[in-house]
Structure 1
C-alpha cells in the first residue's frame, strides 16, 4: 500500500547528506533554500545533515536541545540550527541596527500592493 506524501515548501535537491525515501525511490539530497547576503544558499534539511554542518561546541548544544523539544517547536529549531553555520545572524543584526537608527531598509508594510491593503 502506498502511503501519501505531503508537499513541503523547503526541501529540494542540493548539497547535503543523502537521504533514502524508500526502496522504490533513488536517494536524494535534501536541502532548504534561503537568501543570505543576496546569494541563494542551500542548507541541510535533515537532522543528521544539520548536525554535520555544526562545529564541536554547537554539536554538543544541538544534541542537548533537539531530543527534548516538543514536536511543534522542532521545525523552527532545526531551521535556526541550520542557519547557525552561516552569516545569517550577522546579517540580521546589521539590519536590526539599521532599523534602530531609523534607516530606510526598503521594507514595505505587509499586504502592500494588494487590493484593500492599508
Structure 2
C-alpha cells in the first residue's frame, strides 16, 4: 500500500502521497520531469517544503467537482449560486 498523509484543503481532508516517488507518480505527466529535476537537486533540509509545494499540484477528488461547477457557471447556469446582493447581513453577524 502506498504511503499517504492527510492534508486539509479548502474542500476538506484529502489523502496525498507521502513519498517522493508517490508525489512524482501522482503528478500530471507534464510536471513529472520538472519535479524530478528539482527534487534531485534540493538540499535535504529543503525537501519538506519542496514536497509540500509539489503535492499541492497533485489532482484531488475535489478538483473534478469544482471544475464541473466552474464549467456550469461559465456556460451560464447560475442555479444554486448566491450573489452578495441577495444575502442579508445575518451571515456577517456574530450574534
TM over 0.5: yes
CA RMSD after TM alignment? 1.6
Give every structure 1 segment of 4 or more consecutive aligned residues whose post-TM-superposition deviation is greater than 2 Å: none
Which residue is 1:69 aligned to?
42
Equivalent runs, 1:25-40 vs 2, <5 Å: 29-40=2-13
Which residue is 2:26 aligned to?
53
TM-score (normalizing by structure 1): 0.46
Equivalent runs, 1:1-118 vs 2, <5 Å: 18=1, 29-86=2-59
Structure 2 segments unaligned to the other structure (5+ residues):
61-95
TM-score (normalizing by structure 2): 0.56
1:57 alignment partner, SS class: helix
Which residue is 1:22 aligned to?
none
Q: Give the whole-Å Cα distance in 1 for the aligned partners of 2:55 and 2:12.
A: 16
- Which of structures 1 and 2 has the larger relative contact order (alpha carbons within 8 angstroms, sep 6+)? 2
Q: Verify the 8 A CA contact 2:4 2:18 in the aligned structure 1.
A: yes
Q: Give the whole-Å Cα distance in 1 for the aligned partners of 2:28 and 2:11.
A: 24
For residues 38-69 of structure 1, give each alpha carbon's deviation from its aligned partner in whole angstroms, at most 9, with x where no partner exists.
Answer: 41111000111111111122101101100000
For residues 59-102 of structure 1, give each alpha carbon's deviation from its aligned partner in whole angstroms, at most 9, with x where no partner exists.
Answer: 01101100000111011101111111147xxxxxxxxxxxxxxx
Structure 1 segments unaligned to the other structure (5+ residues):
1-17, 19-28, 88-118
Which residue is 1:12 aligned to?
none
Q: Give the whole-Å Cα distance in 2 for the aligned partners of 1:67 and 1:32.
A: 22
Question: Structure 2 vs 1, CA of residues 86 and 55 (structure 1 numbering), >3 Å: closer, same or farther?
Answer: closer
